[in-house]
Structure 1
Amino acid sequence: MSAVRGAARTAPVAVGPAPSGRRRRGRTGPVLTGLAGAWLVLVVAHRLLSGRWWLWLAPELIPPLAFVAVPALLLVAAPLAGRGWRPRTALLALAGLLLGAGLAGLNPAVLRSPPPAPPDALRLVSWNTTVWNATDDPDAFYALLTARHADVYLLQEYKPDDDPVRRDADLARLRREFPGYQVVLRGELVTVTRFPVVGVTALPADPPPGSDWRTDYWEVKSLRTDLRVRGRTVSVYNTHILVPLDLSSPLRELFYDRRHEFFQRRETQYRALARDLDRNPNPLLVAGDLNTSPAMGDLRRLTDRLTDAGRASGSAYPTSWTIAGRRWWRLDWTFVSPGWTVHRYRLRDARDMSDHRMQDVLLSLGGSR
């Protein structure tokens, strides 16, 4: 009898929840590893297809920060995958993080201070005005611009009034607000400069004289002005690349027709700009609303040739596009050739007069950062 009681005391006691816990961990491992692998495949495909295939639309609309946030979360969650799956999850997540980090729009140069500006540094303002002052108080609109006291203004989305009398009055006010400046206008693009203009080129094409404003709007997406700046000729490109998509329903055939059309137009606009940059021996500056996020492959047309002035922004994550009071990501850019030194780059709020922030840049000729 005592032997039976002893045996009863030493018999192992089964713990009920353990098998279900092991089953949960067993399911978590494949799920996390699958997610990490799927994200890595998406990043690789995005690197290969963005800016090259017109149907690669949805991934191009992924918020740029996701290319860092998603693999970072998977990396943090890797220990939950269990012993057998943990290293695979961590390795795939790390690969996705390393491959996608350059698409996130982060600015590692924030850790460095730009060089001090010389007294004769050039002040540049570039701004998508969102249909000029059509819905704004004109006095406040012009006050916002003139308060910057810039040497060169590159303004996008100029929209003349349909009434010829009011259109002429608006142009007269533009010139009156900037005494001593030259005004160059093609379609929606307005360049206002203190420096002498020695040449003007419209890209991708310059419509014939007498063409209406809407024709110029579609045909001229980069306005190059050659300026005489302190004894040197420099080329300044005022650029507004077409949006990448039509906002109609994806259930309609029109959506895909317009998507393909817009892709082709953007290709034409970027190619014309890149060709002109390649054959231009002057110091170069390109600024404007490119409708291109840091994650979009189209940006390679400029990053392969020029340097992003935003490195001098002082922000780890520069943002220029604002919707409903929230800053999302950067669509507005300034790029410079090695002949320029960027001393300051700021993205300034537009007091609700535009969904784009104003690029305010201080730079000089004679060196490179």
Structure 2
Amino acid sequence: MNLRTTFPRVLAVAVAGWALLAVPGLFLSGAWWPWLLPDLAPPIAFLAVPLALLALCAGVRDRVRRRWLAGALAVLLLAGAGRAGLHWGALVPGGGPPPAPADALRVFSWNTLYWDTTDDPAAFHRFLRSKDADVYLLQEYLAWRGGTHAEIDRLAALRAAFPGYRVVVRGELVTLSRFPVVATPAVGPGQATEDRSVPWRERFERNKVLRTDVDVSGRVVSFYNVHVPVQLDIERSPLSRGFYRVVRETDAVRKEHFAALLADARANPRPLLISGDFNTTPAMGDLDGLRGAFSDAVAASSSALPVSWGPGPLPLWRLDWTFTGGGLRVHRYALTDPGGLSDHRGQELLVSPAPVALRADRG
């Protein structure tokens, strides 16, 4: 084997292979259900892989081949930069979010991982209380039993742990508010479960958005608590037809919830916050509608690589997001350690509605 001629060929195959993964995703992500699977790659790979291959180009002695490979990788690097999940603003000195007023709201959004059913309930409530939030947006108010999701009854304990808070529940979603709740309009598929006689299973499957309108000192602010279904069933083998059937069917369900959320939020004239577990990474096109219509709270983060989920001590995926609109300002945004209680980091925010006069001046 002649390493001098073999190495450039192997490198060229690697570059072509990465191009086949990275380039079609620019057009197919969010539009074609099979692309949900390649989109599961850690987003940072869209920078790390081209950079690693670019470094290997130094070992190619043929100048013409080296230039062609380096040029192709530069294009792939640029194409993937926006999908890697980096918060480029954190790398730029200065700037930052506006200072918070004294009456700014503390918000905590978190996927609890089956509530307290796998933890010490006392430790679970201590962790929540330690956040001292004005509004809590919590997901997975349920248990995992017998290989499926199951209903739980923990509201009495929750109210005892948070006296004075208003508690709103839809399916697996729970919102707590220190402020009066003025309305809880159903969103999208959840509208079919307004009748209390609807079985819990149906309420769980249809309610993936919980909107709660809260009266904050005379201003109504809308909070959208979100948990978009995960793309695949890890209990099924990728070699089975059922695995891909679940991906296709779930993609349709995800699109329905995304569309309903976007339509409701766009029609809402109030200051609003949309937050939760979207089971969607920065590389996926599923979030394009929300990202185009509302502001990503990560702009107020000091982290260059905001990540919220992943096995082990180093998460590689950002699945949890917060968006704001209607003049709601974000003064702080941080993804925080769940204290061993969940595989998702919590989202901690400090927000405030813009003054009415300021919003009017801006049209």
Comparing 134-143 with 52-61, greater Cα deviation is found at 52-61
1:139–1:91 distance in 2 versus 1, CA, 3 Å: same
Matched, 1:62 2:72: no
Aligned to 2:167: 183
Pairwise CA distance, 1:41: 3.7
Aligned to 1:268: 256
SS in 2 for 1:103: coil
CA-to-aligned-CA distance 1:217-267 (integer Å, 9 cap, x gap): 100000011112232222110000000112210111111111111111111
Looking at structure 2, the residues matched to 322 and 40 of structure 1 have their Cα atoms a distance apart, in angstroms, of 25
Looking at structure 1, the residues matched to 19 and 284 of structure 2 have their Cα atoms a distance apart, in angstroms, of 17
SS in 1 for 2:64: coil
Q: Structure 1, unaligned stretches of length 5 or more? A: 1-19
Looking at structure 1, the residues matched to 346 and 65 of structure 2 have their Cα atoms a distance apart, in angstroms, of 48
SS in 2 for 1:104: coil
- Does the Cα contact within 8 Å between 1:307 and 1:338 map onto a contact in 2? no
Looking at structure 2, the residues matched to 187 and 272 of structure 1 have their Cα atoms a distance apart, in angstroms, of 17
2:319 is aligned, of 308, 321, 331, to 331
Matched, 1:219 2:206: yes
Looking at structure 2, the residues matched to 177 and 160 of structure 1 have their Cα atoms a distance apart, in angstroms, of 20
Percentage of identical aligned residues: 47
TM-score of the aligned structures, taking structure 2 as reference length: 0.89
TM-score of the aligned structures, taking structure 1 as reference length: 0.88
CA-to-aligned-CA distance 1:85-112 (integer Å, 9 cap, x gap): 1111111100000010111111112134
Q: How does 1:116-265 map to 2 (within 5 A)?
A: 116-159=99-142, 170-204=154-188, 205-206=190-191, 207=193, 208-247=195-234, 248-265=236-253
Looking at structure 2, the residues matched to 160 and 62 of structure 1 have their Cα atoms a distance apart, in angstroms, of 28
- Does the Cα contact within 8 Å between 1:203 and 1:223 map onto a contact in 2? yes
CA-to-aligned-CA distance 1:318-348 (integer Å, 9 cap, x gap): 1111423332221111111151221111111
Q: Structure 2, unaligned stretches of length 5 or more? A: 146-150
SS in 1 for 2:42: coil
Pairwise CA distance, 1:313: 2.0
Matched, 1:72 2:55: no
Q: Aligned residue pairs: how many?
A: 343
**One-letter amino acid of the structure 2 residue matched with residue 240 of structure 1:** H
- Does the Cα contact within 8 Å between 1:66 and 1:104 map onto a contact in 2? yes
Pairwise CA distance, 1:356: 0.7
Looking at structure 1, the residues matched to 4 and 116 of structure 2 have their Cα atoms a distance apart, in angstroms, of 59
Which 4+ stretches in 1 moved above 4 angstroms?
none
Aligned to 1:53: 32
1:127–1:251 distance in 2 versus 1, CA, 3 Å: same
**One-letter amino acid of the structure 2 residue matched with residue 130 of structure 1:** L
1:91 is aligned, of 48, 53, 71, to 71
**One-letter amino acid of the structure 2 residue matched with residue 334 of structure 1:** T
SS in 2 for 1:233: strand
Q: Pick the structure with greater CA Rg.
A: 1
1:178–1:193 distance in 2 versus 1, CA, 3 Å: same
2:303 is aligned, of 315, 337, 342, to 315
Looking at structure 2, the residues matched to 283 and 87 of structure 1 have their Cα atoms a distance apart, in angstroms, of 51
CA-to-aligned-CA distance 1:32-61 (integer Å, 9 cap, x gap): 334324423422201111111111243111
- Does the Cα contact within 8 Å between 1:30 and 1:85 map onto a contact in 2? no
Looking at structure 2, the residues matched to 226 and 259 of structure 1 have their Cα atoms a distance apart, in angstroms, of 33
Looking at structure 1, the residues matched to 137 and 162 of structure 2 have their Cα atoms a distance apart, in angstroms, of 13
Looking at structure 1, the residues matched to 87 and 144 of structure 2 have their Cα atoms a distance apart, in angstroms, of 40
Looking at structure 1, the residues matched to 162 and 207 of structure 2 have their Cα atoms a distance apart, in angstroms, of 24
